[in-house]
Amino acid sequence: MIAEKYQQFIVDVAKEIPKDRIITDPLKILAYGTDASFYRLLPQVVVQAHNEAEIVSVLESAVPLGLPVTFRAAGTSLSGQAITDSILVVASHKWRGYEILDEKGLRVRYQPGVIGSRANIVLKPYGRKIGPDPASINSAMIGGIAANNASGMCCGNSQNTYKTIAEIRIVLYDGTILDTADVASRKAFTDKHPEIIREIAQLRNDIVSDAVLYERIQRKFKIKNTTGYSINALVDYEDPIEIIKHLTVGSEGTLAFISNITYDTVVDEPFKSCALLIFNTIEDACNAVPYLSKSPVAAVELLDRESIHSVEHNPMAPDYFKTLPESACVLLVECQASTADERLEKQEGVRQAIVEVPTAFPFEFVAAEKDPKRYSFNWQARKGLLPSVGGLRKTGTTCLIEDVAVPVEKLAEACIGLKALFKKYDYKDAVLFGHALAGNLHLVFSQDFSDPKEVDRYAHLMDELGDLIAVKFGGSLKAEHGTGRNMAPFVLKEWGDAAYNTMLRIKQIFDPKNLINPGVIINANPHIHLENLKPLPASNPIVDKCMECGFCESSCVSEGLTLSPRQRIVVGREIERLKTTGENPYRLDLLQRESLYNVDETCATDGLCALACPVDIDTGKYVKDLRHASNTEKQEKTAEKLGDKMSAVTAGMRGVLNIVGGFQSILGDGIMGGIAGGLRKISGDKIPKWNPYMPKGGTKIKHAIVNAGQENKVVYFASCINRGMGKSKGYLKDDLKLVDMTEKLLTKAGFTIIYPEGINGLCCGMPFSSKGFKEEGEKVSNELASALMQATENGKYPVLYDMSSCFYTSHEHFSHHKELKIYDPIQFVLEFVMPKLKVTQPRENITVFPVCSTKKIGMVDSLVQLSKMCAKNVSLVGTNCCGFAGDRGFTFPELNAHGQRHLKEQIPAGCAEGYSTNRPCEIGMSEYSGISFKSIFYLVDEVTK
């Protein structure tokens, strides 16, 4: 039951914000009550705010009631700064706006929901980027990057948000807005809050008059430091508005909400290379860092031997990783330049710099453009170390990361001290890595919080860590991950009374009622870092290694509609926990009922989350496993019958589609849509959704061989979807159905086409496995494999699939048939068809969409290459997954609508043609883009006439 004050808040805020964005149901509350840290608090209310006026409304409704408010963007923060047990405001989906403010891209304004990597994509044409480059840049959003003053690999201390901020727009606790870029706003703020201006000025004067404190602040911010507030603003600036601007950076949402932020961008050098420098000991590696700091390097990343252990089994990892001595240490060195020749000079400069501290083995630089996979692996191995190490931990334990910095000259001594600390408290799995040039080290280890003795062990470790880093080495207990709840009890230890009192005054100035993200940075509870610890019970072997980092969320089509992969795992873990403990059966029943739609039915199971996950967790496979567990015996028998009669199933599909298509032809789209929509509503959404691009029936294949007698032969597996579905609205009158079109194209290229025996009854198994019918999926997959083995004469001829998703399914399941050479449509056309044809009529403008399977097999670049052979201008749709998900576009069309909500704006003006490699996706893309999407085979045929 929600407390009376929160009920009043909901009533008040609902005057500005629609009720469907004011969330109180237990499943969503649980899902949003999780960030990447090892803490969990469950909000009373979650508000999805879409604009600044709604933020003001939240504050004006909550503050008079004395209700705390916490703001969140992506929730990838690691120190517990994005959780609350009060009101959580999520500002992400409708906060993706940006504006490049000059023709050279020197200055750009972002809203807080822009993902870091996206921020750089829009700057790429200008050869610029934002300064911060955290490892989480593909998921973290600008709001969090600025609020935590995140830095990263190449950023150092000179290109973080604090150093590269130009302007900021913020909302204070009482709804007051300050836009530092607007002279009128600055004046209005000064007139409304003269006490803030006055007290900021007084704070600066107090610090300037305290020589000891002044010097301490200057010294401590020479290295990375996000412990406490950015009080260096009181030293670096005199103007109160400038001080406020810079105090907001790194304030972790405890002073104000950031509506937008303007960055001065930095150069993104086009020529990059990296090298792995292997040293015999961590001391040798650390001793090399001062020399490297004087060389022309952009980054130096330290990885201890335990770090290398965590990634050495990656398929891209070099073989020597496994043979390195246990004392070894690696430095990943990056060079960046404006020309290839300049890069060579810098690489030589690095070699010369470390002559006095030689490496254990010779090393070579890998150029990003010459060997992109190897270059990418080196950096992905480093950026994904936290979750990778977390993936090796024992089930039920939590992966912790501490983030410290010391003066570079004390780096070797600090490493030795930290290793000794791990040994003293028996953290055998602890690893050490970080940004060596900045003296910034990350300590990663697993921790069991279910045992009070283990919690006590962690408490002792943290106490000694504070003494070692803050006292002995004069370093930072949080270098770049933010103070949060994790380090709040240690701010006083690190900074001392004078600086800490300054921070207390800052909080009081901006948040006099202590309602804006309270408990973060400033917290009087000395044990807050040991409270509200997140439970991580065993749930399912597929997802048990998840540490809830949130890297997956930006890849998920249902995120923002229902749940993200991380949130699905959170819900699944809580359900299993409640089953095990037996507590609160009502809550368990509620979560199980609500999870049917939120966890299962709206998951596209596309697997793109695994591409973003450093430990390769495919939440789609997890959901399929849940479906398998919930399938009844009757459903399994039905699936078995369907699998045995695929020829009849596709024939039935053709008949139904032809009937529906006939009505569409007679009635027209408008009347047909009204009738179909009404019938679906009456049926309780049991009848599939109709859309104008629903195809007519396809083609039954009646011959075994086409164009016999050619030297080149190909076995063509026409998918059951394309055998069942024919042409849609938007196809040209002379267009053939896809199976016939494929025959025409292959014949033109000089192939004899062989169909496997029983083609009309064959299936790759995807329609069954995606719904959790594992056994039937395997059975029909094996039947297909046997038919292909026979048709190819045991692998003598290549096999062409006409849908990427079907190819991917067989690619996953044919491990026992390595003789078969199966090809995705893109790869086959590139390798076998285009060399035999001549492009005579290239298209002017086309749009192409790489479906999920294309992304998972690494075929996006090949799709672009093929498209550019066929058209002068190629636009690539940036949507992750279209959300059609096989049949979900018909049965749960809201998933498709959500996935395509930004599609139309990605279609260039004047472009009327779209192409892809998956029939259901093309149906959904056509509906939401306004142009017809067809198989890439149609494009190739047209341009080679």
Six token digits for residue 542: 């597929």
**What is the pLDDT averaged over residues 507-528?**
97
Return the residue matching tokens 């109160």.
Answer: 240
Condensed to tens digits (0 to 9), the pLDDT of residues 528-580 reads: 999 999 999 999 999 999 989 999 999 999 999 999 999 999 999 999 999 99
Q: How far apart are CA 323 and CA 337, in angstroms?
A: 33
Ordered alpha helix ranges (H), 511-581: 565-581
The pLDDT, as a whole number, for residue 154 is 86
Q: 112: exposed, middle or buried (C-beta count within 10 Å: 0-12, 13-18, 19+)? A: buried
Whether 45 and 87 have beta carbons less than 8 Å apart is answered as yes
Query: Which band of pLDDT confidence, cut at 50, 70 and 90, is reported for residue 380?
Result: confident
Percent of the chain whose pLDDT exceeds 70: 99
Give the pLDDT of residue 938. Answer: 97
pLDDT digits (tens, 9 = 90+) for 242-266: 999 999 999 999 999 999 999 999 9
Over range 448-465, report the average pLDDT. Answer: 95
Summarize pLDDT for 192-226 with one digit per residue, the tens: 999 999 999 999 999 999 999 999 999 999 999 99
As a whole number of angstroms, the distance between CA 90 and CA 74 comes to 8
384, pLDDT greater than 80:
no
CA distance 615 to 609: 11
Using an 8 Å Cβ cutoff, are 432 and 423 in contact? Answer: no
DSSP state, residue 903: T
The H-or-E segment that residue 502 falls in is helix 497-510
Beta-bridge partner residues of 89: 47, 71
User: Are the CB atoms for 172 and 71 separated by under 8 Å?
Assistant: no
Q: Could you count the other beta carbons within 10 Å of the beta carbon of residue 610?
A: 18
Sheet order of strands, 705-706 included: 705-706, 751-754, 712-717, 799-801, 822-823
Q: What are phi and psi of 697, to 5 degrees?
A: -70, 155
- When computed from its CA atoms, the radius of gyration of the chain, rounded to whole angstroms, is 30
Q: Is the pLDDT of residue 699 over 90?
A: no
Residue 833 is classified by DSSP as I
Mean pLDDT computed over every residue of the chain? 95
d(CA 414, CA 404): 10
The torsion defined by the Cα of 538, 544, 547 and 551, in degrees rounded to 10, comes to -140
Strand partners, 712: 751
Tokens encoding 714: 């190909």
Measured from the Cβ of residue 370, the count of other Cβ atoms closer than 10 Å reads 11
Joined tokens for residue 51: 């604009």
CA distance 611 to 827: 20
How many alpha carbons lie under 13 Å from residue 264 in its C-beta half-sphere?
9
What is the helix (H) or strand (E) element at residue 92, kind and residue range? none
Q: Would you tell me the crossing angle of helices 194-208 and 240-248 to the nearest 10 degrees?
A: 90
Q: Which residues have CB under 8 Å from 314's CB, separation 6+?
A: 377, 381
- Quote the crossing angle between the two packed helices 860-870 and 936-943, to the nearest 10°: 30
Q: 3-state SS of 273-314? A: EEEEEEECCHHHHHHHHHHHHCCCCCEEEEEEHHHHHHHCCC
Return the structure tokens found at 276. 């792995």
For the chain, the distance separating the N- and C-terminal CA atoms, rounded to the nearest angstrom, is: 69
In whole angstroms, give the CA distance from residue 943 to residue 48.
47
| CB of 146 closer than 8 Å to CB of 258 | yes
How many residues can be counted in the chain?
945
Nearest alpha carbon to residue 392 among 306, 275, 303, 509: 306
Identify the CA nearest to 910 among candidates 843, 845, 842: 845
Three-class DSSP labels, 595-607: HHHHHHHCCCCCC
What integer pLDDT is reported at residue 818 of this predicted model?
86
345, 413, 383, 319: which is closest to 154 by C-alpha? 383
The CA-atom distances, in angstroms, between 652 and each of 30, 405, 473, 645, 666 are 43, 67, 75, 11, 22
β partners of residue 754: 705, 715
CB 572 within 8 A of CB 541: no
Q: How many Å apart are CA 587 and CA 898, to the nearest integer? A: 29
Residues 6+ apart with CB under 8 A from 78: 36, 37, 401, 403, 481, 482, 484, 486
CA distance linking residue 373 with residue 378, whole number of Å: 9
Residue in 776, 785, 790, 834 with CA at minimum distance from that of residue 806: 785
Cα 28 to Cα 679: distance, rounded to the nearest angstrom? 31
pLDDT tens sequence across 34-86? 999 999 999 999 999 999 999 999 999 999 999 999 999 999 999 999 999 99
Structural tokens at position 688: 């599939």
pLDDT(808) > 80: yes
Tokens representing 389?
A: 């190490």
Backbone dihedral region of 211: left (phi > 0), alpha (psi from -120 to 50 degrees) or beta? alpha
Longest Cα–Cα distance in the chain: 95
List the 299-304 sheet strands across, edge first: 366-367, 271-279, 329-337, 299-304, 431-435, 440-447, 398-405
User: Residue 1: what pLDDT?
Assistant: 62
Residue with tokens 């237990």: 26
Of 404, 413, 155, 472, which Cα lies nearest the Cα of 290? 413
Neighbours of 187 (CB within 10 A): 10
Give the H or E element holding residue 267: strand 266-267
Of the candidates 300, 174, 180, 299, the one whose C-alpha atom is nearest the C-alpha of residue 249 is: 180
- Edge-first strand order for the sheet with 871-876 is 871-876, 843-848, 913-916, 932-935
Interatomic CA distance for residues 130 and 119, integer angstroms: 7
Which of the residue ranges 49-53, 428-432, 652-656 has the most confident prediction, judged by mean pLDDT?
Answer: 49-53
**pLDDT over 80 at 389, yes or no:** no
Whether the pTM exceeds 0.85: the reply is yes
Q: Annotate 383-438 with DSSP letters as a single string.
A: HTHHHHHHHTSPTT-EEEEEEEE--GGGHHHHHHHHHHHHHHTT-TT-EEEEEGGG
* Sequence-ordered list of residues with C-beta below 8 angstroms from that of 700, at least 6 positions apart, any chain: 650, 651, 654, 723, 760
Q: Which residues contact 77 (CB under 8 A, 6 or more apart)?
A: 35, 36, 37, 144, 148, 252, 481, 482, 484
H or E element: which one contains 341?
helix 340-353
